């Protein structure tokens, strides 16, 4: 007899009774009686388990004993209509092989609800749960949609370096890359480390952003994007910060700030629409999960809309576009500011916005995503284009409900004089960035770009409150297990 190997999702999407098939997967649960054994099998291809039915008379007791929650099995059998509740079809097992036993007493994933905190401690096994397999599948679909979106628009994907010698954001929050002996590094006369003897013959770090190199791409290829890992050594233990996260950074020549906002809004809506269309089953599951979790939150912290309603709401509405100056006005006059409810009070123009302020604008004031533009130059990076007023720059941040900043971008300073002046003011080493400055010297052009934090975006899509739950193996201060 020939058994055709098939994934459970594919099988269940077009089940034909009488087929002889082979499935492989991990046992979620086993129920047995004298006359029959039922096994719920999952291979990660979808939420639904396949019900395996085995006649205990046909299999050795020893084999059946090894079929426990967590074990990996391979089953050959015939697909038949199911008379039981909860499934259309089931697999009548002809032969079963236990590929990997699992000790039922020490297996950490019991068929019950586990807390997210506990699951983080067993991140090597959490993809075997419904919640995390759904998140993994959505994450994959979103990666695919990112590439599809830009490919349809004719953007080129460029790989920007992960090891760099520059600090694109100028915030100094970098992880050093070095092969020097930490116990005995070569020293200069003044006692500092002599990096000229290091692997790259200079000081290097993991990149905080691929933007500067993406700009080089845009100023030759017109429209490019990079989608890679970025690293920040900021010691923030929040639900929105990772030390290693993925960022999508498009960079476009001949785009001004308006064009940049238009692209970002279209991009976000495209991704959300894609998720609603292609990940309906998983989103339905997470919607239910989020609704249950909401019930345990304080009334005033609850969302008015369900997860899926929030996704649809973002697609159906234009993002509100206002300047930083207008936002400060709104925030200064806001109730939480007047009643001193904000942790950081807004007292003057020029202060940086905290996530509580961003969320107030989005969730309470406008009740939709907001694009804030034209920030004070002091609180933004050196590469942003100076406005006529000489005090604000052509920056834009996109703020989302529940998250705050999800996108950061700007029109870039393409004028050599202004760029040099800003770098001087901000004490950015121009020598090290000679190649960046060269693009302003040889055929410079107006250009713009932005960065979407992939995990923050996934938090919005999946409704997960903690960013550590939307990346397979989170890296945070004090945490580099797995
Ligand atoms: O605002 P940021 O720092 O902007 C840049 O890096 C620019 N070079 C992007 C560009 O214009 N090409 O970061 C962009 C986004 C943020 O809006 C946020 O979504 C995400 O990256 N982000 C983080 N996500 C998780 N953990 C962190 N520590 C993050 N820091 C930023
Ligand atoms: Mg930012």
Is the beta carbon of 271 within 6 A of some atom in ligand 1?
no
Q: What are phi and psi of 28, to 5 degrees?
A: -85, -50
Q: What is the pTM of this model?
A: 0.97
Q: What is the CATH number of domain 128-173+208-469?
A: 3.30.930.10
pLDDT in tens, 406-458: 999 999 999 999 999 999 999 999 999 999 999 999 999 999 999 999 999 99
- Tell me the average pLDDT across 234-243: 93
In this structure, which ligand is nearest to the CA of 232? 1
Specify the CATH number for 4-100; select among 3.40.920.10, 3.40.630.10, 2.130.10.10, 2.40.50.140.
2.40.50.140
Where in the sequence of the chain do the CATH 3.30.930.10 domains occur? Answer: 128-173+208-469
Percent of the chain with pLDDT over 70: 100
Distance 227 CA to ligand 1 centre (A): 12
Atom of ligand 1 nearest to the CA of 214: 12
Atom of ligand 1 nearest to the CA of 397: 17
pLDDT for position 140: 98
Q: How confident is the model at residue 264 (pLDDT cuts 50, 70, 90)?
A: very high
Where in the sequence of the chain do the CATH 2.40.50.140 domains occur? Answer: 4-100
pLDDT in tens, 320-378: 999 999 999 999 999 999 999 999 999 999 999 999 999 999 999 999 999 999 999 99
**Contact of 246 with 229, CB cutoff 8 Å:** yes
Residue whose CA lies nearest to ligand 1 atom number 6: 209
Distance 405 CA to ligand 1 centre (A): 8
Percent of the chain with pLDDT over 90: 93
- Tell me the average pLDDT across 253-268: 98
Contacts for 482 with CB less than 8 Å, ≥ 6 apart:
123, 124, 473
pLDDT for position 170: 82
Taking CA atoms, 9 is separated from 12, 44, 265, 306, in Å, by 5, 8, 33, 27
| Residue 480 clears pLDDT 90, i.e. is over it | yes
pLDDT in tens, 65-80: 999 999 999 999 999 9
Taking CA atoms, 431 is separated from 114, 426, 427, 438, in Å, by 54, 14, 11, 11
In this structure, which ligand is nearest to the CA of 458? 1
Query: Under DSSP, is residue 72 helix (H, G, I), strand (E, B) or coil?
Result: strand
Q: What are phi and psi of 189, to 5 degrees?
A: -60, -35
């Amino acid at each position: 007899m020939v058994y055709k190997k098939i994934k459970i999702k594919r099988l269940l999407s077009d089940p034909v009774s009488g087929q002889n098939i082979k499935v492989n997967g991990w046992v979620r649960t086993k129920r047995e009686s004298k006359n029959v054994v039922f096994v719920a099998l999952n291979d990660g291809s979808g939420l639904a388990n396949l019900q395996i039915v085995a006649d205990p008379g046909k299999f050795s007791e020893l084999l059946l004993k090894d079929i426990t929650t967590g074990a990996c099995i391979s089953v050959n059998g015939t697909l038949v209509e199911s008379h039981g509740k909860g499934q259309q079809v089931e697999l009548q097992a002809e032969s079963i092989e236990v590929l990997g036993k699992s000790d039922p007493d020490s297996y950490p994933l019991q068929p019950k609800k586990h807390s997210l905190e506990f699951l983080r401690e067993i991140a090597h096994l959490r993809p075997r749960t419904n919640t995390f397999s759904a998140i993994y599948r959505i994450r994959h679909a979103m990666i695919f949609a990112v590439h599809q979106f830009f490919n349809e628009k004719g953007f080129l994907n460029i790989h920007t370096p992960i090891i760099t010698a520059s600090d694109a954001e100028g915030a100094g929050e970098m992880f050093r890359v070095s092969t020097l002996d930490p116990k005995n590094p070569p020293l200069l006369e003044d006692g500092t480390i002599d990096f000229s003897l290091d692997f790259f013959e200079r000081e290097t770090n993991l990149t905080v952003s691929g933007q500067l190199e993406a700009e080089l791409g845009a100023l030759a290829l017109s429209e490019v994007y990079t989608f890679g890992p970025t690293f920040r050594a900021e010691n923030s233990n929040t639900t929105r910060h990772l030390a290693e996260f993925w960022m999508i950074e498009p960079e476009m020549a001949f785009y001004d700030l308006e064009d940049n906002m238009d692209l970002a809004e279209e991009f976000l809506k495209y991704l959300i629409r894609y998720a609603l269309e292609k990940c309906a089953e998983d989103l339905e599951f997470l919607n239910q999960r989020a609704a249950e979790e909401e019930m345990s939150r304080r009334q005033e912290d609850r969302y008015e809309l369900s997860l899926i309603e929030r996704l649809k709401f973002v697609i159906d509405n234009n993002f509100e576009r206002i300047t930083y100056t207008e936002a400060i006005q709104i925030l200064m006059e806001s109730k939480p500011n007047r009643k001193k409810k904000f942790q950081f009070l807004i007292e003057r123009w020029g202060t940086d916005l905290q996530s509580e302020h961003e969320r107030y604008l989005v969730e309470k004031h406008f009740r939709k995503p907001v694009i804030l533009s034209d920030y004070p130059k002091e609180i933004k990076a050196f590469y942003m284009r100076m406005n006529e007023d000489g005090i604000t720059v052509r920056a834009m941040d996109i703020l989302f409900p529940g998250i705050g900043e999800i996108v950061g971008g700007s029109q870039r300073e393409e004028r050599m004089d202004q760029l040099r002046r800003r770098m001087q003011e901000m004490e950015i080493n121009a020598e090290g960035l000679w190649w960046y400055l060269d693009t302003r010297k040889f055929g410079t052009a107006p250009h713009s770009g932005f960065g979407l934090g992939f995990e923050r975006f996934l938090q919005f899509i999946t409704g997960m409150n903690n960013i550590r739950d939307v990346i397979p193996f989170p890296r945070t201060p004090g945490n580099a297990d797995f």
